Amino acid sequence: MQNLNHKKSILNLYRYTLKNIHRLNDRILEDDTRQVVNTLFRKKIVDPITISKYLYDGMTLNELLQSKQYDTIRQMINEKKEYLKNIQLQKESKKQNKEQIDIKKINLLRGKTKSLKLSRIEHPKPAKKSQCKYIVQMYINKLIEKNKIPKNIKLDKLYLESIIIPNLQFELNKLYYNDLINRFNKGPFQSDIKFTFSGVLPLPYIMTPSKFKYGRKALYQHIQKQNLFRRLLNIWESKEGKRLESEHILKDGGYSVLKSFGFGDSQLIYPRYHYEKYTIGEELMELFVDTSLKKGKLKFEEYNWSEYLQISSDWIHENFENLKMFDNVTEKQRKFQNEMNRKYDKDLIKFKQLQESLKESKSFKNQIGFDLGRELNRFGFKSFDLNDPDFDMSKINQKLNAIADKY
C-alpha cells in the first residue's frame, strides 16, 4: 500500500510539473524544461538517494515555476542538461571499454571458438549525425564547382560555423518556407476518385496526399474477397477433363485455395462434378431400395440429392455478384474533402501568424539570435536542422545546387 501511495505521489508531481511548464513565456525554455523533466521522471532508478534528489529537484522546479523565476529556472535546466549529458557520455565510455576488454579476451582464443565469439560482437552502426558533415561537404564542393569559393584554400573553422553553415541551414529552411507559400497559394488538396483494376471489375478509391490512404484497407480486403470467390466459382463450375490454366490441380482432383475453409491444412476444395458422381449414385441406390420395399407410386423429387449442390452453386454466385459492387465512395470523398478543407484553414491561420512574426522581427539569415527553422517549428511547420539525425534527405542534391547558385 505504501509503494502504491509513493508511486501515486510521484505521478501527481510529474503531472503537476508538466502543467506548470506552460507558465513559461519562452518557447525554447519551455521545450528544454519539458525534455529534462521527461528524462528525469522516466528514468529507471533504484538508488533511494538519487530518487530523493530528483523528487526534491521536481518540487523546487514547481516552486520556481509558480513564482515565475525564469532566470533561475534557465540556470537550473542548463545544469540538468549538462548533468544528463555527462551521464550519457559515461555510459558510452563504459560500453566502449567493455567492448575493448571483450575483444582482447577473444583474441586470446583460437580456431572456431574465436571466430564464433567475434561474429557475435555487435559493431556499432555509423551515427546518422555523420550526414550533417556529409551535407556540409557536399555544399562546399558545389560552391567550389561554381567558383564561389577558392579551390585550394582550407576553410577556417570560424568561417564555416559563422558563414557557411548558418547560410546553408537558413536557405534550406527558406525552401521549406517557399514550399508553404506555394502550398497555401494552391488552396486545399482536392481529393479525386480513381479506379483500380486489381479486382474482377474496376473499383473506385479516393486519392489522398499523405501516406495514410483513406479507405484503402477496406478496398484491399474487398479485392481479396472478389478474387477468392472468382477462384471458387471457376473451380466449382469447371468441367471434368478440362484443365484450369490459372489453378494447380492435385492428384485426387482437388484444388488448394487459402481462406476457402476447405478440407485439411491445405484447404482443399473440389469441383461440382466431383460430388455429382456420389449424388447420382446415392439417388440410384435409394431409388432401387425403395422400389423393392415400397408398393405404389414413388415421388422421385424425394431422391434429388443434386439440389444440395445447386444450393452451393447459388451461394457462390450470389456472393460473387455482391462483391462486384463496392461501397459508394462519393459520400466518403465528400467527408474527406471537408477534412482537407478544415486542415487547410487551420494551417493557413498558423502560416499567417508565422508571416506576421517574420515581418515584426525583420530578420535575415545572419542576424544573431534569429533561426528561421526555429520559427517554422514554433508555428508547427516542418523545418531543416543540421543537428537532427532524421532530417529530410530527399532531393538534397537539387536543393544544394539551387542554394550554391544564390551564394
- 250 and 305 co-located in one domain: yes
- 41 and 84 co-located in one domain: yes
- 54 and 100 co-located in one domain: yes
Range in 62-76, 122-136, 273-287 the model is least confident about: 122-136
Range in 149-163, 174-188, 357-371 the model is least confident about: 357-371
Q: What is the pLDDT of residues 151-180, one digit of tens each?
A: 767 777 777 777 788 888 888 888 889 999
Range in 122-126, 345-349, 379-383 the model is least confident about: 122-126
Q: Is residue 134 part of a domain?
A: yes
Helix axes 70-107, 48-66, angle to 10 degrees: 150
The three state secondary structure string of the chain is CHHHHHHHHHHHHHHHHHHHHCCCCCHHHHHHHHHHHHHHHHCCCCCHHHHHHHHHHHHHHHHHHHCCCHHHHHHHHHHHHHHHHHHHHHHHHHHHHHHHHHHHHHHCCCHHHHHHHHHCCCCCCCCCCHHHHHHHHHHHHHHHHCCCCCCCCCCCHHHHHHHHHHHHHHHHHHHHHHHHHHHHHHCCCCCCEEEECCCCCCEEEECCCCCCCCCHHHHHHHHHHHHHHHHHHHHHCCCCCCCCCCCCECCCCCEECCCCCCECCCCEECCHHHHHHHHHHHHHHHHHHHHHHCCCCCCHHHHCCHHHHHHHHHHHHHHHHHHCCCCCHHHHHHHHHHHHHHHHHHHHHHHHHHHHHHHHHCCCCCCCCCCHHHHHHHCCCCCCCCCCCCCCCCCHHHHHHHHHHHC
pLDDT of residue 33: 79
For residues 247-258, average pLDDT: 79
Q: Is residue 135 part of a domain?
A: yes
- Per-residue confidence band for 1, with pLDDT thresholds at 50, 70 and 90: very low
- 10 and 106 co-located in one domain: yes
Q: Is residue 205 part of a domain?
A: no
- Residue, of 217 and 187, whose pLDDT is higher: 187
Range in 165-179, 315-329, 343-357 the model is least confident about: 315-329
295 phi and psi angles, rounded to 5 deg:
-110, 150
Count structural domains, the chain. 3
- 270 and 318 co-located in one domain: yes
Which of 268, 303, 323 is a domain's end point? 323
Q: Is residue 87 part of a domain?
A: yes
Judge contact between 329 and 204, C-beta under 8 A: yes
Which among 23, 58, 26 has a CA at the least distance from the CA of 39?
58
pLDDT surpasses 60 at 238: yes
Judge contact between 386 and 132, C-beta under 8 A: yes
Q: How far apart are CA 318 and CA 354, in angstroms?
A: 58
- 246 and 314 co-located in one domain: yes
- 51 and 135 co-located in one domain: no
Q: Is residue 203 part of a domain?
A: no
- 220 and 304 co-located in one domain: yes
Cell 583460437 belongs to which residue? 110
- 102 and 141 co-located in one domain: no
Range in 132-136, 168-172, 289-293, 340-344 the model is least confident about: 289-293
Q: Is residue 204 part of a domain?
A: no
pLDDT of residue 121: 54
Residues 383, 389, 391, 395: is their CA dihedral positive or negative? positive
Q: How far apart are CA 364 and CA 358, in angstroms?
A: 9
pLDDT of residue 219: 67
pLDDT surpasses 60 at 20: yes
For residues 259-284, average pLDDT: 73
pLDDT of residue 405: 82
Q: How far apart are CA 377 and CA 393, in angstroms?
A: 18
Q: Is residue 202 part of a domain?
A: no
pLDDT surpasses 80 at 299: no
At residue 215, what is the residue type? G
Which of 119, 153, 180 is a domain's end point? 119
Which value, to the nearest 10 degrees, does the dihedral of the CA atoms of residues 110, 115, 116, 117 take?
Answer: 70
Q: What is the pLDDT of residues 77-107, one digit of tens each?
A: 888 777 777 777 777 666 666 666 666 665 6
- 6 and 115 co-located in one domain: yes
Compute the mean pLDDT over every residue in the chain, rounded to the nearest whole number. 73
Which of 275, 303, 323 is a domain's end point? 323
Q: Is residue 206 part of a domain?
A: no
Instruction: Name the pTM for this structure.
Output: 0.44
- Per-residue confidence band for 125, with pLDDT thresholds at 50, 70 and 90: very low
For residues 210-218, average pLDDT: 62
- 149 and 108 co-located in one domain: no
Range in 26-35, 163-172, 237-246, 283-292 the model is least confident about: 283-292
Helix axes 165-186, 396-406, angle to 10 degrees: 110
Question: Both ends of the chain: CA-CA distance in Å?
Answer: 67
Q: Which domain holds residue 355?
A: 130-189+331-406
pLDDT of residue 163: 79
Share of the chain above pLDDT 70, in %: 63
pLDDT of residue 116: 56
pLDDT surpasses 70 at 372: yes
- 52 and 152 co-located in one domain: no
